[in-house]
Amino acid sequence: MAPNSPILSQLIVPERILELKPSTKEDALRILSAACAATPQVADGEAFFKAILKREAQVSTGVGMGIAIPHVKIPEVSDYVAAVGRCREGLNFDSLDGAPVNLIFLIGASDRQTREFVKILAQVTHLLKSRATREALLAAPIPHSFIEIIKSAES
């Protein structure tokens, strides 16, 4: 992936697309953080998880429409990393619209990747703005059909 042109579908790999049945937002964030921490990009999994929780305490990343996009830029991450959780029954995420969250796109980056990081967040937001895409992601078999939907939406 070229450093100046991150593509969401390249960050979302099959082993980090998870069907979640968590009881709390913190449980969901722990599971997704652990998936990211298992990659070489994350040098300190506990620091990563704590940074995600700290960011979430500032303001919920539950942006509405059943979507949450927890994200951090920290020195313990060397390059982009992402995990996706799907919670079909919905999860209380303290979302801005008060609705439960079904799709969680957790994204980490190095503290030196500001411009590209903003582009990735914009890609997620753009992708999930479409009700049809959200519904397709909720219904798709994971992981491969899920990734194909994201790739189609990018083109």
Find the catalytic residue in 39, 41, 48, 71: 71
Please report, to the nearest 10 degrees, the dihedral formed by the alpha carbons of residues 80, 143, 53, 153 taken in order: 60
CB atoms within 10 A of CB 134: 18
Which token pair is 6? Answer: 């991150």
Tokens of 21: 């049945």
In whole angstroms, give the CA distance from residue 90 to residue 64: 12
Which DSSP category does 59 fall into? S
User: Can you tell me which residue has the tokens 């949450």?
Assistant: 68
Distance of alpha carbon 62 from alpha carbon 114, whole angstroms:
21
Q: Catalytic annotation on 71?
A: yes
Supply the residues annotated as catalytic. 71
